[in-house]
Amino acid sequence: MPDATITAAIAALIPEGEGRRDVLTAEGVEALMARYPYFPLPAAVMLRDAGNGLSRDGRKKMLRHVARTATSTVVLATLLDEGDEPFYPDEQVSTPSTESAIDTFLSTYGNGGEDDEVLNRLIFNPTPDYAQLLAREEQQNLPPMSAGDGDSHDDLLNRFIIRQKQQEGSAPQDEPQRIPATTVENRHSDEAAAAQQQDTSLLSESLAKIFIRQHQYERAYEIISQLSLKYPEKSVYFADQMRFLRKVINNRRHSDAKRP
């Protein structure tokens, strides 16, 4: 059907519109949409001829008007699909941070005796060093030194494993290596200093635990803060403890401020 015939048929629907050629305007089509809600032809022609020149709201309104009368679900989905507005938004998976985990714990549990014990375990239980555990297990599972004496396939394999571990220093040597006396003295002094350092650290942590049981969290925080400065190699371990204690201290201050 020619466009002139379509325009004339549409104009005939408007009072005093017969013979007019300017009925396919945004205002005219909106008037027809309000007058004939199930007649999509004016809106469809308008979208075809001047779709890009319409305002965003006007274009959306006409698209929805046409979509209501579409008999095909494919056409309906095509008309309503705007590309940048998905029907279902992407699922956002939130990863809880250390701060949120601490907040969740403190909001779930109170400040009773059992909760203080849980607090002690959360603060002072370090993460196990799995590399050391694996190395210890590997050392225990090494074949014995006499296992590589034969000529079988297993003996050859055991002899190769023992030789590799001897080169890496993780298997016992057949003959002890001679160590200079100065090296032995230095090693003993280093071990004594490390043992004294560990004793001081453990004693300070034990004192911090006592302060936590007494609800003196500020004093415990001061001790752990000093330990973090004194032993920088454990700063990551102490950082989590200090972060947890800061949360506990702030929560207690907030609770005390609410009390009359």
For residue 172, the SS3 value is coil
Count of other CB atoms within 10 angstroms of residue 57: 8
Count of other CB atoms within 10 angstroms of residue 162: 19
Residue 184, in any domain of the structure: no
User: Residue 229's pLDDT is what?
Assistant: 86
- Tens of pLDDT, residue by residue over 5-22, are 766 776 676 665 555 656
User: Residue 171's pLDDT is what?
Assistant: 47
Same domain, yes or no, for 59 and 8?
A: yes
Final residue in a domain of this structure, among 56, 80, 104: 80
Q: In the predicted model, is pLDDT for residue 196 greater than 80? A: no
Q: In the predicted model, is pLDDT for residue 198 greater than 80? A: no
Cα–Cα dist 40/127, whole Å: 68
Q: At 118, is the pLDDT very low, low, confident or very high (cuts 50, 70, 90)?
A: low
Q: At 170, is the pLDDT very low, low, confident or very high (cuts 50, 70, 90)?
A: very low
Q: Which domain holds residue 140?
A: 129-177
Residue 185, in any domain of the structure: no
User: Residue 121's pLDDT is what?
Assistant: 60
Same domain, yes or no, for 61 and 139?
A: no
- Tens of pLDDT, residue by residue over 11-54, are 676 665 555 656 677 787 888 888 888 788 888 888 877 765 77
User: Residue 44's pLDDT is what?
Assistant: 80
- The CA-CA-CA angle for residues 52, 54, 60, to 5°, reads 95
